Structure 1
């Protein structure tokens, strides 16, 4: 397992595109979060805005790049035929699955943590000048505040789970473009359907099973009781999607030839 993990790390870091994509996760997450923080306003008490979630808006964009990195981690090997070499060097296919998952998790944890902390720091510096003040009922963003800490930790875990979801899908379909399309559909089709459905009960159910809507509920710090699903329960939904994708991908990895 140790040697397999080292091999996966070597493959990941020696591919220049992965470095640029990882940098893109940070750049997009921080840039979008900063843009939203700098353009949002709260001009009176009870404006209903959620400063923490506004600062972390970039996670919604960064997750797309995380999913791409995860898909390419397996999809590129199938596309180039390198998967045969990988499975020859490491015949135990579950070891291959675990090593890829571990390396992807570690890289996403580091990148996600830096991105989330930078986004919150920018929000802390910018938002008081945009009306998010004590006079309007807001404290400066701080990880000492339990809801903000939960939003930060949950956002990082969400990115990790999206990465694992992408890896599982890529192992199942063995084609990068197809896998990316499937992951993006899983993320964005459910929220669109929820907007098109008129029945409020069905809207709520679609939001509860949507990886995007349910998972990002963990970022909410204002009006938590109005959410279609609780913050940690929503993150659990994403975990189920990720585990399911890895289970299917791992099963097919073991059952099929490279």
Structure 2
């Protein structure tokens, strides 16, 4: 496993696209969060919104770049034929698959942490001093939201990686992942039946997972914050199992 991890890390750091996608994730996440925070009208009594969730809103766009990065890590090798070289050097496909997933996790964890903390810093600089409502990582709900958002980005990366391993094609994988993330929540808002709407919100990986960001009115959510993140983890686990099994059974 050590040699496999070293090989995957070498490939990741010597190719330009992962670095640019990570930088893009950080920039897009912080930029959108900054704009969203700057548009809030605050008074001495508060901002009228969940300020923690507002400062983390950039994840809505940052996750798309994480998904693209995760897809390209595996589908890029299929498109170039490099996957044959990888599997020849590492005949144990489960080991190769795990090494890619672990490397992806580490890369997204670093980039996600920078993006999330940058968003929080921007919010702290923009929002006025709200006393007890001020942004602070010593606050339990906010710390949970920040840590959970980084975990969410990692899970989105693993979900995308699993789907890309199963599908193999970059464009199809990216389209499928982005559709799953963004289209399902839109459908849930269009549906008039509140029961079906709430069910879709509980099942969709984005709407369920981003419940981890909520620090106010938590009891009104379809799922509790950690339960919602658990739904996203379930999607990621299912995609990884499917991708891993298909990698072992199919020819390169």
Asked if these proteins are the same fold (TM beyond 0.5), I'd say yes
Task: Please give the residue correspondences for 1:27-106 in structure 2 after superposition, counting only pairs within 5 Å.
Answer: 27-43=27-43, 45=45, 48-106=48-106
Q: 1:238 aligns with which of 226, 232, 238?
A: 232
Pairing 1:148–2:142 present? yes
In 2, are the aligned partners of 1:42 and 1:49 still within 8 Å (CA)? Answer: no
After TM superposition, give the deviation of residue 42 of structure 1 in Å. Answer: 2.7
Task: Please give the residue correspondences for 1:197-212 in structure 2 after superposition, counting only pairs within 5 Å.
Answer: 197-212=191-206
Where does residue 174 of structure 2 map in the other structure?
180
In 2, are the aligned partners of 1:67 and 1:166 still within 8 Å (CA)? Answer: yes
**Superposed CA offset, 1:171-207 (max 9, x none):** 0000000000110111012111111111111100000
After TM superposition, give the deviation of residue 39 of structure 1 in Å. Answer: 1.3
Tell me, in whole angstroms, the C-alpha distance in 2 between the residues paired with 1:216 and 1:250.
26
In 2, are the aligned partners of 1:194 and 1:203 still within 8 Å (CA)? Answer: yes
The SS at the match of 1:150 is helix
Q: Which runs of 4+ in 1 moved over 3 A?
A: 43-48
Where does residue 133 of structure 1 map in the other structure?
130
Query: What TM-score results when the alignment is normalised by the length of structure 1?
Result: 0.95
CA RMSD of aligned residues (A): 1.2
Where does residue 168 of structure 1 map in the other structure?
162
After TM superposition, give the deviation of residue 234 of structure 1 in Å. Answer: 0.4
Structure 1's 252 and 83: CA in aligned 2 closer, same or farther, altered over 3 A? same
In 2, are the aligned partners of 1:32 and 1:57 still within 8 Å (CA)? Answer: yes
After TM superposition, give the deviation of residue 20 of structure 1 in Å. Answer: 0.8
The SS at the match of 2:219 is helix
**Superposed CA offset, 1:132-183 (max 9, x none):** 623xxx5221110000000000000000000000100110000000000110
Tell me, in whole angstroms, the C-alpha distance in 2 between the residues paired with 1:45 and 1:223.
17
Unaligned runs of 5+ in 2: none
Tell me, in whole angstroms, the C-alpha distance in 1 between the residues paired with 2:149 and 2:181.
15
After TM superposition, give the deviation of residue 46 of structure 1 in Å. Answer: 6.6
**Superposed CA offset, 1:22-52 (max 9, x none):** 1001100111111111111134747530100
Unaligned runs of 5+ in 1: none
**Superposed CA offset, 1:89-133 (max 9, x none):** 0010110111001000001111111111111111111111xxx62
